[in-house]
Structure 1
Amino acid sequence: MMIRSIISAALLSLAAGTALPSFARDSGSATQPDSARYNRPVKVMIITMLGPEAQVWLDRLGPWKTVPIAGLSPDYPNVHCNRHDVCVVTTGMGYANASASIMALTFSARLDLRHTYFLISGIAGVDPARGTAGSAAWAKYLVDFGIQWELDAREIPADWNSGYLDINTKNPSQKPALDYRNEVFNLNPELADAAFALSRNVVLADSAEAEAARSNFSYAPANQPPAVIQCDIASSNTWWSGTLLGQRAREWTNIVTDNKGVYCMTAQEDNATVEALKRASSIKRVDLNRVAALRTGSDFDRPYQGQTSADNLLHYAEQGGFATATENLYRAGNPLVQDIVTHWRQWHNGVPRR
């Protein structure tokens, strides 16, 4: 159920094989062109996908200087940077917008991003077995849920537990060769742990509407107040709702991460965003060890007992999670941003040991 609250909010305002691509192993090997001329250095670049996700940052960390970047989304043509070298970019929604915007950003000479920390900051659907509306999750793995084969749900073989199977495999439990090389990204675990440690005790926003929605669930953590957690993100351009689809997201995450990843957030753009950053890292314009991903639950990826998947999808806006999810992007993400800026000498050369 991919970030379904976006629509109402908008209206309201690896080579083949089994190895995972690790950022620690891919910091870029090509030489930076001699003709490159950088302008403003950036300590933190906050990557948002739609206006409300950006606005919670823009309302708090200004004043801002507008930096137009050729090739950004026509809806969001400017990067906003403050005096502390913290910047906010909005890519637009979906794979195409995210990848195109990040390519434009990272290949522009207007900003020096060679030592920048990137914070992906967006809302998502949440697995009620791992979180609730408003929960904020720091991820170590980004998994592309869309790179699969799919059978018509009405024609699934009787001995299969899913209509999805990995490309060029024979059944839903086999691991693919990862030929696309962006099926899964392993973010820097030291950065993810540092971000979690800095934010784990923050007081997150909640609401009466979200409390009422989560009371429909009979189990924790779905029926508990939101918290900062660590678990992983599955991306797809297809928004979905359903218990069986949610179970497949869990299984797919396990398969492609060799049982190291734990699915909890269903989002849209993150694998496309990081693939674009990876291209920029190949000529040392960015450092992939400096990418963090934070997603907050705006609604549930599956129904509560007695509810249909259709009802869960069609009435997502009634779950009351959008306002708390957008607010909690700032509350959970800002401790990392401020620590980097305040202690830049320690962060400049990489994630400091703790």
Structure 2
Amino acid sequence: MRIVAAFRRNVYARHARKALTSRNAAVALTSLSVITGCASAQDDSDRGYDRHDNGGRHVKVMIISMFGPEGQVWLDNLGPWQPVKVPGLSPDYPNVNCNRDDVCVMTTGMGHTNAAASIMALGFSDQFDLRHTYFLVAGIAGIDPARGTVGAAAWAKYLVDFGIQWELDAREKPADWETGFTGINTKGPKEKPPLDYRTEVFALNASLADAAYAISRNVKLSDSDEAKVARAKFSYAPANQPPAVIQCDTLAGDTWWSGKYIGERARDWTRLLTDGKGVYCTTQQEDNATFEALKRAASVNRVDLSRVAVLRTGSDFDRPYQGQTAADNLLNYASQGGFAPAIQNLYLTGGPVVKEIVTHWGAWQKGVPSH
């Protein structure tokens, strides 16, 4: 079952304003203003920001969001901002916004193509010095109810591409295949493919992921009444538990999906490509494309790949509760009430990590501090 990203963007647009301006959202977002304590996005181009001697602006943390509300939650809390127009970014999000603490926020546009193009434009722009920058990819995602719940915030160690597979319609698959998916140039679903694309799976810096988790694991996350109702329909934990900060891995693919059987393939595919080390829990569109673009910049020493962290928060379940159809779960995902908490929890979880890096830059400048 296929659904284009524009569909979800349109639905989110109808819900985002109400959700993000509610009293609950306002309290949650203003209570943890970090670094500057100012919550306004404005042009601050006359404040004399530090620049590298080649003209590129030093950046301590670059926050990468994928669409408007994901970026706005940071813009509302870490300003004032200096907008920097970067050639090659999405026409919908043409600026990188930077504050006086050398924290910047950019939005790529949704999907593999937008993410790759925007990050390539950023990585090869001479307007920034990104050699010592920490990159925080922060976005919402579908979530496996066996690993988390709506509103949960997951730090990943592995990025796996779900789209680079062969696929047969399940009605035409061989009888002894449990799924219609199989790796490219394999003979069956259980065989690991040769990884000829070189983008099928990436391992992030585990030390950075562990540090981010340690810093944020005890934060109080946002929730909603609708999300509590949606959780209660599941008979097992952690799906029916309050949201928490967790560690598990993320799967990228531009085709949005829902269902028990595709969900089982997501788990199996993650284990297969990571040689049993990865644990699937969130599904999104962009992260392998984002990382590959950063990898291209790193190949010419413009970026340090050991400084990339990925945070995904659960906006909806990737499969139905018992008695619900996969179609109902997919088409009515917005009724799960996870969108507003997921957006808020990007900041509530990632904010303390950003604050730690900036406040103790002397300890982080040369790499992740050992603990």
Same fold (TM over 0.5): yes
Confirm or deny that 1:51 pairs with 2:86: no
Q: Does 1:314 align with 2:331?
A: yes
Measure, in 1, the Cα distance between the counterparts of 2:269 and 2:329.
22
Taking the aligned partners of 1:350 and 1:181, their CA distance within structure 2 comes to: 26
Q: Is the 8 A contact 1:5 1:322 kept in 2?
A: no
Query: Residues 180-213 of structure 1, C-alpha deviation per residue, up to 9 Å, x if partnerless?
Result: 0010000000000000000000000011000001
Residue 60 of structure 1: SS of its match in structure 2?
coil
Structure 1 gap segments, 5+ residues each? 14-35
1:293 corresponds to: 310
Equivalent positions of 1:188-267 (< 5 A) are 188-267=205-284
TM-superposed deviation, 1:157 = 1.3
1:121 aligns with 2:158: no
Q: Which secondary structure does the structure 2 equivalent of 1:304 belong to?
A: coil
Please state how far the C-alpha of 1:38 moved relative to its aligned partner.
3.8
**Aligned mate of 1:10, from 10, 13, 18:** 13
Question: Is 1:199–1:335's contact at 8 Å kept on the other side of the alignment?
Answer: yes
Alpha carbons 1:5, 1:316 under 8 Å: kept: no
Q: Count matched residues.
A: 332
Q: What is the CA deviation profile of residues 303-345 of structure 1, one whole-angstrom value per residue up to 9, with x for unaligned ones?
A: 0000000000110010000000000000110111000000000
Aligned partner letter, 2:364? W
Identity %: 69
Deviations, residues 61-86 of structure 1 (Å, cap 9, x unaligned): 00001011001000000000000000
Does 2:356 align with 1:339? yes
**Which residue identity is paired with 2:306?**
N
For residues 171 and 60 of structure 2, what CA distance do their matches in structure 1 show?
Answer: 51
Q: Which one-letter code corresponds to 1:259 in the other structure?
A: G
- The equivalent position to 1:85 in structure 2, one of 98, 102, 123, is 102
* Structure 2: gaps of 5 or more residues: 18-52
Q: Aligned partners of 1:37, 1:9: CA distance in 2, in Å?
A: 41
- Normalization by structure 2: what TM-score? 0.88
Aligned partner letter, 1:319: Q
With normalisation by structure 1, the TM-score equals: 0.92
Verify: 1:135 aligned to 2:138, yes or no.
no
CA–CA separation in structure 2 for the residues paired with 1:256 and 1:37:
41
* CA-based RMSD: 1.4
In the alignment, residue 362 of structure 2 is paired with which amino acid?
Answer: R
Deviation (angstroms), 1:5: 5.0
Higher-RCO chain (CA-CA 8 Å, sequence separation at least 6)? 1
1:158 to 175, 178, 197: 175
Which residue identity is paired with 1:219? Y
Structure 1 residue matching 2:209: 3-state secondary structure: helix
Report if the CA contact (8 A) 1:134-1:298 is conserved: yes
